[in-house]
Structure 1
Amino acid sequence: MKKQENTQVQTQSWQSLAFVWAGAMICVPSLMIGGTLVSGMSFMESLFVGFIGYALIVLLMVLQGMQGADLHRPTVSMASQVFGKTGSQKVISIILMIACLGWFGIQANVCGQAFTTFLSMYEIQFPVQISSLIWGVIMLVSALYGIKFLNILNYVAVPILVATCIYGVFVSINDSQTASIFSYQGTGEVDIMSGLAITIGSFALGAVIAGDYSQYSASRKDVVKAATLGILPAGVLMIAVGAILTITAGTADIAEVFMNIGSPILGVVALILATWTTNAVNAFSGGLALINVFDIPKEKEKIAVGISGGIGTVLAVVGILNYFVPIMSILSAMVPAVAGVMIASYWIVQKGDPAQWSPVEGVNWLGIISWLIGAVIAVIPVGLSFFPSLPQLPNQPLIGIVLSFISYLIGSRFLGNQESRQAINSEELGE
C-alpha cells in the first residue's frame, strides 16, 4: 500500500527545496524581526540571537522534514499517528488557519502603511485602514487564481526585494555610520529570551509543517542541506538588513524605513510585491485549513479562500500589526509543541524507523494532551505579559516543545506499545 502511495517520491532536489525555504525567509516580517531585535539590544547581539533562533528552527525542520522524506507524507498525514486521524486534522489545521489569518492581517497592514506613507510624501492623505482594506482585497483576489499565478508573482517579487534591501543598506550607510551601527545599543524592552521567542515564532509554523515540502526529497541528507542552506543565510541576512535600516533610519517602522532609502517608488513597489506574494499564499493555505477544520466540500475551495482572506483583511483594518510582538510570542509558545510530540513519537518511541509508523483512527489523546501541556504552560508567561500588574515569568521559547516531548515519552512508557496507544482513541471510547 505504501508503495502505491509513494509513486511520485524523490522528485525534488535539495537545491529546489532550499530555494523554497529561502524564498519564505525573504519577506517583510523577517525585516521587521531585525528592527524589533535591534530596538532592545546591540546590532551584534541581534545577529547572534537571530542566528541561534533560526538554528533552532533548522533543527526542528530537519527532524520534521526527515520524517516527511521517510514517510513521503505531508504533516497532517504524518501526525495522524501521534494525534490520531481526526486529532491531526483538527489540531494541525486549526493552528495553520490561525497562523495564516494572523500573517495575512500583518502583511496587509504592512502594505497598507507603506502605501499610505508613500502617498503622504506627495501630500496625499489616505487612511491606513482604507489602504489596508484595498490591498487586502487585491491580495485575496489574486489568491483565487491559484498557485501558478502566485509562483509567477514570486519570481518577480523576491529578486526585487533582495535588490532593494541591498540598495537600501548601501545608500543608508556612510563612513561615519558604520561605526555607529556596531556600537549601537537599543533601549527597548526586547531582551535575549524575548528575541529568541520572536525569532522562533516567526517561522515556527514553517518548521512544524516542513514535511509538506520535504515529502518528495530523495534522502535525509537532502533535507539537512536544504534546511541549513535555505534558512540560515537568508534569515540572518534579512535580520541584518532590517536592523541596519532601522538604526540608520532611526525608526522600527519598516514602511517608513523603505520610504527613506533614497527611492520611495522602488521601496513601495518592493514592499507591495513582497507582501502580496506571501499574503496570497497565506489566504490560499488558510482556506485549505478552513476546509479541513469545518469539513467544507472541496468544490467550495474558493469560497473558503475568500473567507480566509476576508478575515485576514479585517484584522489588517483593525491594526493587527500593532500586536506583532505578542502574536509572535504566542505562536512561538504554542506551535513548536506540536513538533515536540511528533519528534518524541517518531525519533524516540519508533526510533526513526518508518516501518514502525502507522496511523491511528479517531483521536490519540496521549498526543493531544501532551501537546496541550507544553502549549498551555509555554503560553502562560506571554499571557501574564499583557497584565503588568501581575507577577511576571520569563519567556522561555523552547519550554513548550520540551514539555510536550517529555510528556509524550512518559505517557508512552506507561501506555506501552503502539497498540496500547491506539486503544485510547476517541472512537474506541465511543465518541
Structure 2
Amino acid sequence: MEKQENTQSWQSLAFVWAGAMICVPSLMIGGTLVSGMSFMQTLLVGFIGYGVIVLLMILQGMQGADLHKPTVSMASQVFGKVGSQKVISIILMIACLGWFGIQANVCGQAFTTFLATYNIDFPVQLSSLLWGIIMLVSALYGIKFLNILNYVAVPILIATCIYGVVVSIGDSQTTSIFSYQGSGSVDVMSGLAITIGSFALGAVIAGDYSQYSASRKDVIKAATLGILPSGVLMIAVGAILTITAGTADIAQVFMSIGSPILGVVALILATWTTNAVNAFSGGLALIHVFDIPKEKEKLAVGISGGIGTILAVVGILNYFVPIMSVLSAMVPAVAGVMIASYWIVQKGDAARWSPVEGMNWLGIISWLIGAIIAGIPVILSFFPSLPQLPNQPLIGIVLSFISYLIGNRLFVKQEKQQMKSELGE
C-alpha cells in the first residue's frame, strides 16, 4: 500500500523535467550558441549536450528509484554522510547564488530596456538591485504566493515565445534562419560546456525526483521524453528570436517581439518565480555548508539572496558562458564518482549499497581531481595573457570516474586484506 502511495507515473516526472526546461536560461543558451555558430550547429550541440544530461539523469535517477532515497542520502556511500552533505550543499550553494544573480540581472536589464522605450533612463545596476531585493523579500515571505504565480508565469512565457516565433518567422524568410551562420566565436566544445553546465545540477540530483518511480524503465522514459524535446525546442526558440532580433541580449530580444509590455511582463514573472526558489534553496545549502542552526533559516535565505543580488549589480550576466563552463566542470564530476561506485563497484545492486559514516575521502578526492582539472581551462580563460587550454566539458566526469575506480582497487582492497589478516591473527 505504501509503495503505491509513493509511486509516481513516468508521465508526471516527465512533466516536471519539461517544466524545468521551459525557462529563460534555456532561451539564453539558444541565443548564446547561435550568436557564435550556425543555426543547425546550435540545434545539434543542444541535442548532444542534453543527450549527455539525459544519460547522467538516467544513471542517477535509476539509482534513486532502486534505493528510494534522495541524492544526499545516495551520496552518503561514496562521500560519507558528512561529506555528501558538504559536497552536494557546496555545489547547490554556488549554483543557486550564481543563478540568482544571473536571473536578477536579466530582470534588471529587461526593466531598464522597457523604461528606455518611454525615454526613461534607469541604470541597469539600480534596476538589478531593485528586482533582486523584491525577489529576495518574496523568497522570505511569499513562497506560497509565488507557487501560485508560477502557474501564471510559465504559460505567459510559453505564449510570449510562441508569439515571438510566429512574428519573427512572419517577418523573415524561413530559409534565412536555417542558413544562418554565426560569428564562429563559439566552438562545439564550448557550446557543449554551456549546454551541459546549464542543467548539470538537475542531472546530479535526478534521484530527488525519481526516488518514487516504480521502475528503471520509468526513469528512462521520463528523462528522455521530458528533457530532450522541451530542451531542444527552447534552444531553437531562443536561437530564432536572437537571429531575427539581431542580438543575443535576451532583454532586447523580448523587447523587439512586437509588444514591449508583454515581453517585460513575461521576463519579470519568469525570472521572479525561479529566483525565489534559488534564494530559498541557496539558503538551505548555506545552512548545511556552514552548520547554521535551523532556526536561522530566514537569515541564511537572506544572506543567499543578498549575495545573489550583489552579483546581479556587478553584472554577473556578462560572465554567463564562463559560469556555465565552471558548472559543467564541477557538477558532473559528482555523478562520475556516484556512477563509478553504484554501477561498477556495486554492479547496480541496491543490496550492496550502504552509507559510510563521516567523510569518505576516496570519493571526495576523486571528485576534486575531476572538478579541478576540468575547471583549469575555464579559470585560464579569465586571464587571456596566460596560455589557454581547450575546454573539454566531459573530462571532469571521466577523471572522477576513473580516479574513484583506481582508488577503490588500490585502497579498499588493501583495507579488506588488512582486515582479513587481523581476523586471522
TM-score of the superposed pair, with normalisation by structure 2: 0.95
Structure 2 residue aligned with 1:257: 253
Structure 1 residue aligned with 2:422: none
Match of 2:401 among 399, 405, 421: 405
Residue 10 of structure 1: CA displacement? 3.1
- Cα distance between partner residues in 1 of 2:146 and 2:350: 34
Whichever residue aligns with residue 64 of structure 2, its letter is G
Structure 2 residue aligned with 1:140: 136
Of 77-86 and 217-226, more deviation after overlay is shown by 217-226
Match of 2:368 among 352, 366, 372: 372
Match of 1:238 among 229, 234, 241: 234
Structure 2 residue aligned with 1:335: 331
Q: What secondary structure, in the 3-state scheme, does the structure 2 residue paired with 1:80 have?
A: coil
- Cα distance between partner residues in 2 of 1:301 and 1:420: 43
Structure 2 residue aligned with 1:150: 146
Structure 2 residue aligned with 1:30: 26
Q: What secondary structure, in the 3-state scheme, does the structure 2 residue paired with 1:257 have?
A: helix
Structure 2 residue aligned with 1:226: 222
Asked whether 1:306 is paired with 2:293, we answer no
Match of 1:123 among 119, 124, 128: 119
Q: What secondary structure, in the 3-state scheme, does the structure 1 residue paired with 2:76 have?
A: helix
Of 216-225 and 328-337, more deviation after overlay is shown by 216-225
Whichever residue aligns with residue 265 of structure 2, its letter is V
Call closer, same or farther: CA 1:420–1:269 in 2, change over 3 Å: farther
Match of 1:65 among 61, 64, 68: 61
Residue by residue, what CA displacement relative to the aligned partner does 1:51-109 show, whole Å, maximum 9, x if unpaired?
Answer: 00001001001111111111111111111110011111111101110110000000000
Whichever residue aligns with residue 409 of structure 1, its letter is L
Q: What secondary structure, in the 3-state scheme, does the structure 2 residue paired with 1:174 have?
A: helix
Residue 420 of structure 1: CA displacement? 4.9
For the 8 Å contact 1:115–1:131, the answer to whether it is kept is: yes
Residue 311 of structure 1: CA displacement? 0.9
Residue 137 of structure 1: CA displacement? 1.4
Whichever residue aligns with residue 381 of structure 1, its letter is P
Q: What secondary structure, in the 3-state scheme, does the structure 2 residue paired with 1:39 have?
A: helix
Match of 2:199 among 191, 199, 203: 203
For the 8 Å contact 1:9–1:72, the answer to whether it is kept is: no
- Cα distance between partner residues in 2 of 1:82 and 1:418: 18
Asked whether 1:182 is paired with 2:181, we answer no
- Cα distance between partner residues in 1 of 2:10 and 2:123: 45
Of 204-213 and 102-111, more deviation after overlay is shown by 204-213
Residue 142 of structure 1: CA displacement? 1.7
- Cα distance between partner residues in 2 of 1:341 and 1:366: 9
Residue by residue, what CA displacement relative to the aligned partner does 1:220-258 show, whole Å, maximum 9, x if unpaired?
Answer: 111111111111111101100110011001001010000
Whichever residue aligns with residue 263 of structure 2, its letter is G
Structure 1 residue aligned with 2:423: none
Of 16-25 and 137-146, more deviation after overlay is shown by 137-146
Whichever residue aligns with residue 301 of structure 2, its letter is V
Residue 365 of structure 1: CA displacement? 0.8
State the superposition RMSD in angstroms: 2.0
- Cα distance between partner residues in 2 of 1:251 and 1:194: 19
Of 112-121 and 179-188, more deviation after overlay is shown by 179-188
- Cα distance between partner residues in 2 of 1:183 and 1:198: 23
Asked whether 1:288 is paired with 2:284, we answer yes
Question: Could you tell me the percent identity over the aligned residues?
Answer: 88
For the 8 Å contact 2:45–2:191, the answer to whether it is kept is: yes
Asked whether 1:93 is paired with 2:68, we answer no
Structure 2 residue aligned with 1:77: 73
Of 306-315 and 173-182, more deviation after overlay is shown by 173-182
For the 8 Å contact 2:70–2:208, the answer to whether it is kept is: yes
Where structure 2 has 5 or more consecutive residues not aligned to the other structure, the ranges are 420-425
Structure 2 residue aligned with 1:192: 188
Call closer, same or farther: CA 1:281–1:8 in 2, change over 3 Å: farther
- Cα distance between partner residues in 1 of 2:83 and 2:133: 33
For the 8 Å contact 1:204–1:336, the answer to whether it is kept is: yes
Residue by residue, what CA displacement relative to the aligned partner does 1:189-233 show, whole Å, maximum 9, x if unpaired?
Answer: 211110000000000111111111111222211111111111111
Asked whether 1:357 is paired with 2:353, we answer yes
Residue 175 of structure 1: CA displacement? 6.6
Q: What secondary structure, in the 3-state scheme, does the structure 1 residue paired with 2:392 have?
A: coil
Q: What secondary structure, in the 3-state scheme, does the structure 2 residue paired with 1:35 have?
A: helix
Whichever residue aligns with residue 58 of structure 1, its letter is V
Equivalences, count: 419
Residue 413 of structure 1: CA displacement? 1.2
Structure 2 residue aligned with 1:14: 10
